[in-house]
Structure 1
Amino acid sequence: MSSPNPSSTEPIEPVIPEVVDPPVKVPLKIEDWISVLVLAILALITFANVVVRYTTDQSFAWTEEISVFLLIVLTMTAGATAFVRNQHIRIELFADGGTPRRRRRLALISYSLVLAFFVLLTVLSARMALDEFNWGDTSPAIGVPTWWYSMWMPVLAFGISLRIAGMLRRLLREPA
């Protein structure tokens, strides 16, 4: 057996497994692109704030406010795709171990609890946004109505609820 020659001109191909998305009606690319755009905007805002702070000893107060909002959007969109792609945080020994029947039962319990959580989050965050609208709360840095930010939480939580409901539906349609 010969060892690889480091001075060889042949390129070394990295062994990266191809990730295949599960079958979904609405493509996961939507959340992927939203996540990429939000991350790029966050990077630009943060970079601009660092440059201004370094050159003028001042800070853009609005950057923190918008960054917090964008981080919530990023968390929700990336969380939706992570759950559908089965890349969420879990104890793999517990979740992936045991018989297929046990794994299916655990998946049913998990999907049901996560669905219940996000439906509850949708309802409660919608009530919060409505309260902010009714009370006329404004943000401290920019002074815009806070419901402009908080109205997206129920929208995104509802989107995750639909993703999880689709996963639960597919799991229930599979033979046991």
Structure 2
Amino acid sequence: MDQPDPTPADDTGTDHTIVPVRIEEALGAAAMALICLISFANVIARYATNVSFAFTEEYSVFLLVFMTFVGASAAFAGNEHIRITFFLNRMPATLQRLCELVTLLATTLMFSLIIYFGGRVTYTEWYWEETTPGLGNPTWIYTIWMPILSVAILLRVLGRGWARFRKGRAA
């Protein structure tokens, strides 16, 4: 009978990566710092002048989405994405590998759909010259990052899958 493989859930290393995960970490930290700075400046402005900055909500929402996608990319690279390891660790090794494969395929499908539909939305916004209601910026400037960062996530997912299922190695 197959023995449970203790390594998949415990494997959080990024040794297999070619592009360092520090890039995602730096981008996420920069986005968080900007959100904090914008929000703090808005609070000070409201307190001092009773008027709020108009751009804070628009930029903060964009930065939050950006930070989420960058964080997801780093999490997939380090095998730190959310999963139910309680059950996974109690399965035989072959079933663990099957679950990892199903996860890889489902994640690949989901982010491929985000790339496709996010690209269509971005193109439509660019084509019709849509602007944001608050500042009048072109909306495609914000939405273009969704397919771009989904490509980064997809590459991290496929890199993790390659490391996990490479012949003779249990990443």
Opposite residue 123 of structure 1, the aligned amino acid is Y
Q: CA deviation at 1:171?
A: 2.2
CA distance in 1, matches of 2:141, 2:94: 45
**Larger relative contact order, structure 1 or 2 (CA cutoff 8 Å, min sep 6):** 2
> Which residue number corresponds to residue 111 of structure 2?
118
Opposite residue 140 of structure 2, the aligned amino acid is W
1:59 aligns to 2:52 (yes or no): yes
> Which residue number corresponds to residue 74 of structure 2?
81
Q: Note the alpha carbon deviations across 1:120-174, whole angstroms, 9 max, x for none.
A: 1001100000000011110111101100111111100111011111112222214
CA distance in 1, matches of 2:53, 2:167: 53
CA distance in 1, matches of 2:131, 2:159: 37
Q: CA deviation at 1:98?
A: 1.3
> Which residue number corresponds to residue 129 of structure 2?
136
Q: Does the 8 Å contact 1:22/1:84 carry over to 2?
A: no
Q: How many residues align?
A: 158
CA distance in 1, matches of 2:78, 2:45: 40
Secondary structure class of the residue paired with 1:162 = helix
Identity %: 37
Larger radius of gyration: 1
1:104 aligns to 2:97 (yes or no): yes
Opposite residue 96 of structure 1, the aligned amino acid is N
Opposite residue 33 of structure 1, the aligned amino acid is A
> Which ranges in structure 1 are unaligned for 5 or more consecutive residues?
1-18
CA distance in 2, matches of 1:42, 1:112: 33
TM-score by length of structure 1 reads 0.85
CA distance in 2, matches of 1:54, 1:87: 40
CA distance in 1, matches of 2:81, 2:154: 15
> Which ranges in structure 2 are unaligned for 5 or more consecutive residues?
1-11
1:165 aligns to 2:153 (yes or no): no
Opposite residue 53 of structure 1, the aligned amino acid is R
User: What RMSD over aligned residues (CA atoms) do the two structures have, in Å?
Assistant: 1.4
Q: CA deviation at 1:103?
A: 1.1
Q: CA deviation at 1:39?
A: 0.6
Kindly report which structure 2 residues correspond to 1:16-55, keeping only aligned pairs within 5 A, or say none: 20-55=13-48
> Which residue number corresponds to residue 127 of structure 1?
120
Q: CA deviation at 1:20?
A: 4.3
